[in-house]
Structure 1
Amino acid sequence: MSDPVTLYVCTTCRDAADPADGPRAGARLHDALAQALAARPGTPVRIEPVECLSVCKRPCTVAVVSPGRWTYVYGDLDPAISAEVILDGIGLYAGTADGVVPWRERPQEFRKGVVARIPPAPVTP
């Protein structure tokens, strides 16, 4: 991995089954990702909680960002089982120069759950 990767996790994503007084699905996904990342020392991924990624109809949602690479937004992620798959997918993403992982190499959750692909920000002189 050359440039670090930032994973934004929407912590306000709510699953239909979430109790009103318990942690939301997005917060549970964030916690699961933090635990999974802790078990992978040296992985240059930063996990950042965010309050909303505005993809409420497709919880749980994350955004993968890195300088000079395409940004991807993924939804429909299961907080109970998706953490390892997400980190594996980010590893593939980080191994590319532009962030574009060939379709067939992407985890199934990324192929099915892609919400948006955003071009890299232009470099200004």
Structure 2
Amino acid sequence: MPEAETVLYVCTTCRREGDDPEGPRAGARLHEEIAKRAGGLRVEPVECLSVCKRPCTVAVASPGRWTYVYGDLDPAEAASIILEGVGAYSGTSDGIVPWRERPKAFRSGVIARIPPFPPVPEAAE
């Protein structure tokens, strides 16, 4: 069975205090920086992840794995941290990276953990 593809969703409408109203929003800047460094990772811009009070926000998902939503990410510095965290996520069978092995920004910035869909069947005893 081929390895499930990991997708990183980046909210491009996230706005941080101090963003230039005429310039690109923080989320768009974050997406651009990640996309430059992503290698083979699928990075998808999304209009809104509805976490406006905790910009910048990303979600990492893969079929059969838990989905995570992270916020409070700095658009100027978070790209390498996010890619490190997504790499750890991709190396798991279920998407659950042990807490101590997550980048610090992922430990403090976790917003949600969403079960796999469709649910993974329980292992036979």
Q: Give the TM-score, by structure 1 length.
A: 0.91
Give the CA deviation at 1:3. Answer: 1.5
SS of residue matched to 1:111: helix
SS of residue matched to 1:117: strand
Q: What RMSD over aligned residues (CA atoms) do the two structures have, in Å?
A: 1.5
> Aligned partners of 1:90 and 1:22: how far apart in 2?
28
Aligned counterpart in structure 2 of residue 77 of structure 1, from 34, 48, 73: 73
> Aligned partners of 1:83 and 1:3: how far apart in 2?
22
- The one-letter amino acid paired with 1:3 is A
Preserved CA contact (<8 Å) 1:34 1:47: yes
> Aligned partners of 1:102 and 1:96: how far apart in 2?
10
The answer to whether the aligner puts 1:33 opposite 2:34 as a matched pair is yes
SS of residue matched to 1:12: coil
> Aligned partners of 1:105 and 1:14: how far apart in 2?
29
Runs of 4+ in 1 over 6 A off after TM superposition: none
The number of residues matched between the two structures is 119
- The one-letter amino acid paired with 1:64 is V
Give the CA deviation at 1:109. Answer: 0.4
The answer to whether the aligner puts 1:117 opposite 2:113 as a matched pair is yes
1:9-34 Cα shifts (integer Å, max 9, x gaps)? 00000001101100000000000001
Tell me the residue number matched to 1:51: 47
- The one-letter amino acid paired with 2:7 is T
Larger radius of gyration: 2
1:38-94 Cα shifts (integer Å, max 9, x gaps)? xx4xx3x20000000000000000000100000000000001010011011001000
**Which runs of 5 or more structure 2 residues have no equivalent in the other structure?**
121-125
Q: Give the TM-score, by structure 2 length.
A: 0.91
**Which runs of 5 or more structure 1 residues have no equivalent in the other structure?**
none
**Residue identity (%):** 66
